[in-house]
Amino acid sequence: MRRTLALTAAAAVLAGLGATAFATTPAASPATTPATTAAERTHAKPRPLAGLRILVSNDDSMRAAKASNSDGLGLYELRRAMCAAGADVVVMAPWQVQSGKGTAVSNGGALTAQRRTALPAGYERDCAGAPSGGAVFGVCLAEGGCAPDSPSATPADTVKLALRGGLAAKVGWKGAPDLVLTGINSGPNVAASVNDSGTVGAAVAAIDQDVPAIAFSSSGDASQTYFPRENYRAHAEFGARLVAGLSERGLLTSAFALKVDYPDVSAGQRAKAPAWTRVGAGAVAYHAYEQRGAGDTFDIALGLCPVDGGGEGECAEPRRDADSVRLLADGHVTIAPLTWDRTYGTPVEARRELRAVQRYVEREAPRP
């Protein structure tokens, strides 16, 4: 069974499932993070990512201004957690929301990487001790500067720019970063929506340049129109521990990217243990097109499938280890390996690394 909703009523749901975001909401600033106390500074936590250089990008932009938290708040939570763990973090992210852009790139014009000086409230000092200061750049498709309405670079653009000279020019990094992290996306990127995901597309752009990458996406609340800070923060803190574990074991690899999706925990429930999954073969959400009368115009609508994979046709999910079912129906953190190689039937390379990462996820990875 499946159902279709008019896009005007369901745009935020579509955005929350990793597809193109059309909805707009009133602006609101994030709540201020409580100041660190003297006691907390005295008993500082270990910094397992010290010395690691991390590039962060996303497809939700670096604005973090919407009341729905769908335009980049997750990026700042990810930046915060990685800096707290000791990493040196630089952000290069799209100037505008670019959800649903996949691996698209801009083939002409000019890109401007403009530093954001006034960060969202509560996140200003998160990376103050990092060598690069946690610099945040928005990347637009324009010359000389980015205006509020400037067209945006795509997620893949931002990563390619960063790795092909942008980081060296803007913050003086020599050589590639140790890791690229993308997200945290507003909504899960599972099943068929993975092909559309700019969050995943940016991670694929990184491994295409031989840099390890992990794509993070978090579920929204029950409505999938609001993306609670609690979900982003829980995912970011889990992500920092996951990265630390992979790094300590020498398992950060560019042979494949990892896709990490986090369930909704905003009502107080706990996420279940990480599950090693495959990308679902069915759909959770899909684009539908409804003709207006007998004319040439088609309205874009949203098709929604049951989250348990029990639908029919394109909604049917034949894989027992599908990311969508394990995440949305079972409540697990889901982790899946992805590559840039779209050749059907190609031999699996880096088998030893793949088995080692799978074993780590299944046996040793941190628990939420």
Residue 313 has pLDDT above 80, yes or no: yes
**Mean pLDDT computed over 134-159:** 97
Q: How confident is the model at residue 299 (pLDDT cuts 50, 70, 90)?
A: very high
- From CA 140, how far away is CA 137, in angstroms rounded? 10
Residue 307 has pLDDT above 60, yes or no: yes
Q: Considering just the CA atoms, what is the radius of gyration of the chain in Å?
A: 20
In 3D space, the residue among 79, 89, 77 whose CA is nearest the CA of residue 50 turns out to be: 89
What lies within 8 Å, CB to CB, of 187 at 6+ separation is 15, 16, 17, 18, 70, 217, 218, 219, 220, 224, 227
pLDDT at 245: 98
Q: How confident is the model at residue 23 (pLDDT cuts 50, 70, 90)?
A: very low
Q: Please give the order of strands across the beta sheet that includes 213-218.
A: 112-115, 136-140, 88-94, 53-57, 179-186, 213-218, 257-262, 332-338, 272-276
- From CA 286, how far away is CA 17, in angstroms rounded? 9
Residue 178 has pLDDT above 50, yes or no: yes
Is pLDDT larger for residue 309 or for residue 209?
Answer: 209
Residue 39 has pLDDT above 50, yes or no: no
Tens of pLDDT, residues 85-138: 999 999 999 999 999 999 999 999 999 999 999 999 999 999 999 999 999 999
Token pair listed for 13: 């749901």
Residue type, 137: F
CB atoms within 10 A of CB 288: 18
Distance of CA 261 to the CA centre of its chain: 9
Going from the C-alpha of 27 to that of each of 21, 70, 241, the distances in angstroms are 16, 11, 32
Is pLDDT larger for residue 5 or for residue 154?
Answer: 154
In 3D space, the residue among 127, 225, 209, 128 whose CA is nearest the CA of residue 166 turns out to be: 209
pLDDT at 236: 98
CB atoms within 10 A of CB 165: 10
**Mean pLDDT computed over 250-259:** 98
